[in-house]
């Protein structure tokens, strides 16, 4: 029996989660809900996803756009075991009572406050905490990136203090109303909200975060300095720890992928290969040359593709809630289905001649 899944909110995150659900062997995508008949609604229909009208949306508008609908959100809720809410910030909280009264389990996104759900989730960091829960919040893109890195570092060497400066993208590529388009905007509230958010997953992590917003749409970049409790033997140890963990993509110096433009070009190049459906980068991206250990001090950069990093986490959250698999098995199954389970550092090219 497959777990029956609905997705409410079919924008940046929702459409990717729907595509990911449709590729899992143990999940069934029952339908997606949208308020308006946009190009994304047309995409849902083109992919064969039953379309439902959400919120204050009007079925007549869908009809005049010649987009067939299968009912309203309430009808979708009657047909699913779990709903993934991917609506804009704060709308998820308003939807919570609809899901509860329909007796449907619910997953919320990082734009919601932590208390929208019973627990916050990251697959590498706290899968077991969320097993059997009826509602879970998948944390934001930046928090997901930090929690994954912490899941690598914390059990191996312990953390005395962790400082992250987040260089945040101003907007997603499809957004036109956000900025800045020319400026660097420091987040003057300190710490930024990301540190406290990471602690909804790892309550004892001694982390402080600061942030600036810059005019780019591609990815966020985190600048990390971690004072470890126990020193690794050197930078190679830390490189190996990241390299051997799922959902980390390391770039070797010879690859020339020295910044986010090349990383996303790599993502576009690999799309369609190895079953990878989209030009997304669902892994934390690290540069080998940008990982350094000096005594107990570890430094590393990581890039986070905000539009897609939480997608595999939404899938694993469903498996944790329904006890379908343990954490490592779920991660492996998700990554295989999404085509991100391949070698994370390609072999160096052989010298010719
Ligand atoms: P989005 O604006 O791209 O998509 C939201 C979709 O929900 C839109 O299609 C919108 O029309 C629809 N919608 C609006 N009101 C609705 C309602 N009442 N019922 C159903 N649908 C409704 O937003 P997004 O970027 O996908 O963000 C969704 C959530 O994911 C937010 O909590 C956000 O904070 C979080 N998130 C976003 C990113 C990112 O970088 N975009 C990354 C991680 C997490």
Partners of 138 in the β-ladder: 121
Residue 335 reports pLDDT greater than 50: yes
Q: Of 13-27, 123-137, 159-173, 338-352, where does mean pLDDT reach its minimum?
A: 338-352
User: What global pTM score does this model have?
Assistant: 0.97
- What's the mean pLDDT in 217-245? 97
Average pLDDT of the residues of the chain: 95
Residue 177 CA, ligand 1 centroid: distance in Å: 14
Residue 276 reports pLDDT greater than 80: no
Residue of the CA atom closest to atom 18 of ligand 1? 55
**Is pLDDT larger for residue 342 or for residue 83?**
83
Q: Please state, in angstroms and as integers, the Cα–Cα distance from residue 27 to each residue in 30, 68, 82, following that order.
A: 9, 24, 10
* pLDDT tens digits, one per residue of 96-124: 999 999 999 999 999 999 999 999 999 99
Please, are residues 23 and 277 in contact by the beta-carbon 8 Å criterion? yes
CA-13 nearest atom, ligand 1: 26
* pLDDT tens digits, one per residue of 140-197: 999 999 999 999 999 999 999 999 999 999 999 999 999 999 999 999 999 999 999 9
Please, are residues 88 and 14 in contact by the beta-carbon 8 Å criterion? no
* pLDDT tens digits, one per residue of 74-100: 999 999 999 999 999 999 999 999 999
- What's the mean pLDDT in 131-142? 98
Report how far residue 154's alpha carbon sits from residue 205's, in angstroms, rounded to the nearest whole number.
8
CA-91 nearest atom, ligand 1: 18
Residue 164 CA, ligand 1 centroid: distance in Å: 26
Residue of the CA atom closest to atom 44 of ligand 1? 140
Please, are residues 4 and 28 in contact by the beta-carbon 8 Å criterion? yes
Residue 71 corresponds to which tokens in the numbers above? 């009912």
Residue 351 reports pLDDT greater than 60: no
- What's the mean pLDDT in 204-226? 98
Q: Is 141 a catalytic residue?
A: yes
Ligand 1 pocket at CB < 6 A = 8-14, 33-36, 54-55, 86-89, 91, 109-112, 140-141, 172, 306-307, 310
Residue of the CA atom closest to atom 17 of ligand 1? 55
Partners of 299 in the β-ladder: 225, 292
With pLDDT > 70 as the criterion, what percentage of the chain qualifies? 96
pLDDT value for 353 = 45
- What's the mean pLDDT in 292-317? 98
Residue 92 CA, ligand 1 centroid: distance in Å: 9
How many CB atoms lie under 10 A from the CB of residue 157? Answer: 20
Angle at 23 between CA 22 and CA 28, to 5 degrees: 40
Residue of the CA atom closest to atom 41 of ligand 1? 307
Please, are residues 11 and 34 in contact by the beta-carbon 8 Å criterion? no
Which residue bears the tokens 């924008």? 11
pLDDT value for 272 = 77
- The torsion angles phi and psi of 248, rounded to 5 degrees, stand at -120, 130
Q: Which of 87, 108, 303 to mutate to test the pocket of ligand 1 (most atoms within 8 A of CB)?
A: 87
Considering the candidates 141, 146, 154, 207, report the single residue annotated as catalytic: 141
């Amino acid at each position: 029996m497959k777990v029956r899944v609905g997705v409410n909110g079919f924008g940046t995150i929702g459409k990717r989660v729907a595509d990911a659900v449709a590729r899992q062997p143990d999940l069934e995508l029952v339908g997606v809900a949208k308020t308006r008949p946009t190009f994304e609604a047309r995409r849902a229909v083109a992919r064969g996803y039953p379309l439902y009208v959400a919120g204050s949306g009007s079925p007549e508008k869908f009809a005049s756009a010649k987009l067939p609908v299968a009912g309203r959100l309430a009808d979708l809720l009657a047909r699913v075991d779990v709903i993934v809410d991917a609506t804009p910030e704060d709308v998820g909280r308003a939807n919570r009572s609809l899901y509860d009264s329909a007796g449907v389990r619910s997953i919320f996104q990082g734009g919601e406050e932590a208390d929208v759900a019973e627990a916050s989730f990251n697959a590498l960091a706290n899968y077991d905490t969320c097993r059997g829960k009826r509602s879970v919040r998948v944390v934001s893109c930046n928090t997901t990136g930090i929690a994954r890195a912490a899941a690598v570092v914390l059990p191996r060497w312990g953390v005395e203090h962790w400082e992250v400066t987040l260089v945040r993208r101003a907007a997603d590529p499809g957004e036109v109303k956000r900025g800045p388009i020319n400026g660097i905007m420091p987040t003057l509230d300190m710490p930024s909200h990301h540190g406290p958010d990471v602690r909804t997953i790892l309550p004892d992590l001694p982390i402080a975060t600061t942030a600036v917003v810059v005019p780019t749409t591609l990815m966020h970049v985190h600048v990390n300095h971690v004072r470890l409790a126990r020193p690794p033997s050197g930078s190679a140890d830390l490189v190996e720890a990241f390299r051997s963990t799922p959902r980390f993509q390391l770039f070797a110096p010879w690859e020339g992928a020295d910044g986010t433009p090349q990383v996303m070009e790599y993502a576009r190049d690999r799309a369609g290969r190895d079953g990878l459906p989209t030009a997304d980068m669902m892994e934390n991206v690290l540069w080998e040359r940008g990982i350094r250990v000096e005594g107990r001090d570890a430094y590393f950069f990581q890039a986070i593709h905000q539009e897609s990093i939480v997608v595999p986490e939404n899938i694993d959250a469903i498996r944790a809630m329904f006890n379908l698999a343990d954490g490592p098995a779920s991660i492996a199954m998700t990554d295989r289905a999404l085509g991100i389970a391949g070698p994370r550092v390609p072999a160096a090219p052989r010298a010719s001649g």
